[in-house]
Amino acid sequence: MTIDRMALVRRHNPRHVGRWVADSPLSVGNGDFAFTADFTGLQTIWNEGPGLAPCLTMSNAGWHRYPDSSSDVSALHLKYYDAGGRKVGYMTDPSGQERLFEDLRINPHKFNLGKIGLAYRAWGPLPPASTVLSHLDNIRQELDLYSGTLDSSYLLDVVPVQVSTVCHPSFGTIAFRIESRLLSEGLGVELYFPYASHLMDGSDWERTGAHTSHLEKLPKGGYAISRKMDGTDYLVLVTSSGEIDCVQVDDHRFVIRSAGQKMDLCIQFLFDGEVPFFGDFGAVRAASALWWKRFWEDGAAVSFEGSGDDRAFELERRVVLSQYVTAIQSLGGLPPAETGLTCNSWYGKFHLEMHPWHALHAILWGRKELALRSLRWYSSVLGTARRRAGMQGYEGARWPKMTDMSGFDSPSEIGCLLCWQQPHLILFAELLRRCGDTASSSTLSDLMDETVAFMVEYVRKDGDRYIIGPPVIPAQENHRPEDTLNPTMEVEYWRWALDIAVQWRRRGGRSVPQKWLEVLNHLAPPPNDGHVYLAHELCPDTYGSFAKDHPSFLFAYGFVPGSRIDRTMMAASLDLALKTYDMQSLWGWDFPAMAMTVCRLGLGKLAVDLLLLDAPKNTYLLNGHNAQRFRNDLPLYLPGNGALLLAVAMMVTTGSFPEGWSVTAQELSPYL
């Protein structure tokens, strides 16, 4: 059966009809730049409130550092842990150095590049939603996923207004077409620039004297606004195919108007070294439509149309929208923050242990070139990763946990002691190879060697076996590093990755270092009590006081193939975990990750139940984002969306959907 891709995608276009759902603002973007709009099709209001995503303009190029903050890593005192009789220092203790510790965590940070909203009558630059909505009626807004176009229409004081919003697929350019007779009566568009902030909204509207905004009229039409903010400079180009006038009305506020009843605007954000885009609204809209058509038509597709389960439409909706939101938020030139380019989570820094949950699905869904974008970053920080390993007394490269473009590992009482991000590069490379991209995967082989060089040094000889930890904090982060030995998922992931690396060496005709083979053949087994798997070897209370947060021991036979896992014991572990674990505490990626384990166990119905489980952090909003309910700092959570796509790919290609489900798939590749 052929899937009508356009019909599949468009039946899940998110829509606001008659009213605006404040927790679901809609975004357009390209993976490295994103614009999140309110109900006006712009950013007229400041979308404030608990658990609401602000409407921001963000870029992977937009980083800022507070000038009065220290970046002197060498001044940070380390906390030393006993690693089998050897002392290893980690940046985990802020005691007595709180200011420096915080400076290194929050800097650099992403920030809001600027607010683009309607300028109407006496509205101020940050009007509350209630003020704007009191003037609006008949709101209709639809994001056409197939073309990447956001269309908004409403009555503004009973006068019709139509706004189309699009983003260029290759530039930090947002374009608008606004149509209304109000334009000839004074309605305009304002640009309003904040000072940078490390907080969730990336904006500080109070420090007006700490940055500058300079307007200049361009000789060939249009305007340039030069932005300077400490060590961060960028240029904002404002152009139109028609006549516009741009006036600076305050230190950082500019109003754009046109005389007619239609205004076409291109607003481009340029950082050092970026090439400007020359074109109008029509060119941006055409480029967007072409890119998104190829995205949907050339990649994989899955349809559940005709299924007997009433939940099929909802799962299909989540699958389609997850492809869109990860494409514009997670698949750019940097590993993404957990809230992508919508707002700042953890200061806009990215967490490398989440990288597969963000981006690995793209390989299976026929879009490996999008996954490759962020993988290229690892080569740029190889030197930093080597220095990190060397400072801790290890060979090879140790990849950071929470980092920025530089690859510097942010100090953290937890993050620096995680290790499960280390094999991720091997996972990406192997999946690329299995999906037929030997050229791309081979470029990662040198990084793989550096990765494994650290892995075999990091484990420690203990009698006739090699062990992980202590100190280590596993993926389930509620364990003390001093008390954690051989976390189940980590030892199995470690062994799988070493085995793959050995196969790569042999396939390439290269000798395998003896230490690699020794560790591979003698790595500690996944710990268990004879009946169920444990979180780690020293955790008999796995299903008691530790039955919250990520049940990561289950992922040793889902996310990882788990060649040493006993299926009967894993099935018993799953059953006990589902009975004892606090499902309210699980995170968005946990539910798909558990579904992957269930899939390997051949329990298809339970896999579907887990994907659609009613839990606070398994909530999928109208805009497709996986919200982490009761976490006001995480109004969206992209690892949940990416994990969902990974799990669905695995379930479809293994035929794991239960009776009553009609599943049609095209171009989808199997997981491990």
User: Can you spell out the DSSP letters for 651-668?
Assistant: HHHTT-SPTT---EEESP
Query: Using 50, 70 and 90 to split pLDDT, how confident is the model at 47?
Result: confident
Over residues 140-153, the pLDDT tens digits come to 999 999 999 999 99
635 and 537 in one domain?
yes
pLDDT at 275 over 80: yes
- Sequence-distant contacts of 601-605: CB under 8 A, at least 24 apart: 601/557, 601/567, 601/570, 601/571, 601/574, 602/656, 604/651, 604/656, 604/657, 604/658, 605/658
> How far, in Å, CA of 455 to CA of 395, rounded?
9
372 and 233 in one domain?
no
Within a domain: residue 301?
Answer: no
Q: For residue 318, what is the enclosing H or E element?
A: helix 312-329
Within a domain: residue 77?
Answer: no
Within a domain: residue 123?
Answer: yes
pTM for this entry = 0.98
394 and 252 in one domain?
no
Over residues 485-509, the pLDDT tens digits come to 999 999 999 999 999 999 999 999 9
Helix (H, G, I), strand (E, B) or coil at 424: helix
Helix (H, G, I), strand (E, B) or coil at 153: strand
pLDDT at 418 over 80: yes
Q: What is the mean pLDDT of residues 29-36?
A: 98
| 273 or 252, greater pLDDT | 252
274 and 179 in one domain?
yes
> How far, in Å, CA of 85 to CA of 100, rounded?
29
Could you list the beta-strand ranges (E) of 524-622.
619-620
Helix (H, G, I), strand (E, B) or coil at 467: strand
Over residues 648-658, the pLDDT tens digits come to 999 999 999 99
Q: For residue 165, what is the enclosing H or E element?
A: strand 159-167
Q: Position of tokens 């030069």?
A: 226
Within a domain: residue 499?
Answer: yes
Q: What is the pLDDT of residue 148?
A: 98
The mean pLDDT value of the chain amounts to 97
Over residues 570-610, the pLDDT tens digits come to 999 999 999 999 999 999 999 999 999 999 999 999 999 99
Q: What is the mean pLDDT of residues 638-665?
A: 98
The dihedral region occupied by 450, where left means phi > 0, alpha psi between -120 and 50, and beta the remainder, is alpha
What residues contact residue 98 under an 8 Å CB cut-off, 6+ apart? none
Closest of 622, 547, 625, 656 to residue 13, by C-alpha: 622
- CA end-to-end distance (rounded Å), the chain: 26
Q: What is the mean pLDDT of residues 20-49?
A: 96
Cα dihedral across residues 307, 312, 315, 316: positive or negative: positive
Within a domain: residue 443?
Answer: yes
Within a domain: residue 105?
Answer: no
Q: What is the CATH number of the domain that holds 390?
A: 1.50.10.10
Over residues 431-441, the pLDDT tens digits come to 999 999 888 77
Quote the longest CA-to-CA distance of the chain.
83
351 and 266 in one domain?
no
402 and 256 in one domain?
no
549 and 642 in one domain?
yes
> How far, in Å, CA of 455 to CA of 498, rounded?
8
pLDDT at 122 over 90: no
pLDDT at 254 over 80: yes
236 and 184 in one domain?
yes
Over residues 329-363, the pLDDT tens digits come to 999 999 999 999 999 999 999 999 999 999 999 99
pLDDT at 257 over 90: yes
Q: What is the pLDDT of residue 48?
A: 82
Provide the residue range defining the domain that includes 237: 17-63+110-285
> How far, in Å, CA of 130 to CA of 552, rounded?
44
Q: What is the pLDDT of residue 46?
A: 86
> How far, in Å, CA of 554 to CA of 571, rounded?
9
> How far, in Å, CA of 665 to CA of 672, rounded?
18
> How far, in Å, CA of 581 to CA of 572, rounded?
14
Q: What is the pLDDT of residue 445?
A: 87
Q: What is the pLDDT of residue 388?
A: 97
Over residues 198-229, the pLDDT tens digits come to 999 999 999 999 999 999 999 989 999 999 99
471 and 369 in one domain?
yes
Q: What is the pLDDT of residue 273?
A: 87
* Sequence-ordered alpha helix ranges (H) in 483-566: 488-507, 514-522
Domains of the chain: total: 2
Q: What is the CATH number of the domain that holds 151?
A: 2.70.98.50
530 and 651 in one domain?
yes
Q: What is the pLDDT of residue 49?
A: 86
For 92-106, b/e burial (b = at least 16 CB within 10 A) is: bebeebeebbebbbb
CB atoms inside a 10 Å sphere around CB 69 = 16
What residues contact residue 147 under an 8 Å CB cut-off, 6+ apart? 285, 288, 289, 292, 293
Q: What is the pLDDT of residue 440?
A: 78
| 443 or 339, greater pLDDT | 339
211 and 144 in one domain?
yes
Q: For residue 178, what is the enclosing H or E element?
A: strand 173-179
Over residues 506-531, the pLDDT tens digits come to 999 999 999 999 999 999 999 999 99
Closest of 407, 386, 406, 387 to residue 397, by C-alpha: 386
pLDDT at 1 over 80: no
408 and 271 in one domain?
no
- Report the relative pairing of strands 159-167 and 253-257 from DSSP bridges: unpaired
Within a domain: residue 11?
Answer: no
And the tokens for 552? 């990561």
Q: What is the mean pLDDT of residues 639-643?
A: 98
Reduced to 3 DSSP states, what percent helix, strand and coil does the chain have, rounded to the nearest 5? 35, 20, 45
Within a domain: residue 467?
Answer: yes
Could you list the beta-strand ranges (E) of 15-78.
15-17, 26-29, 33-37, 57-59, 63-64
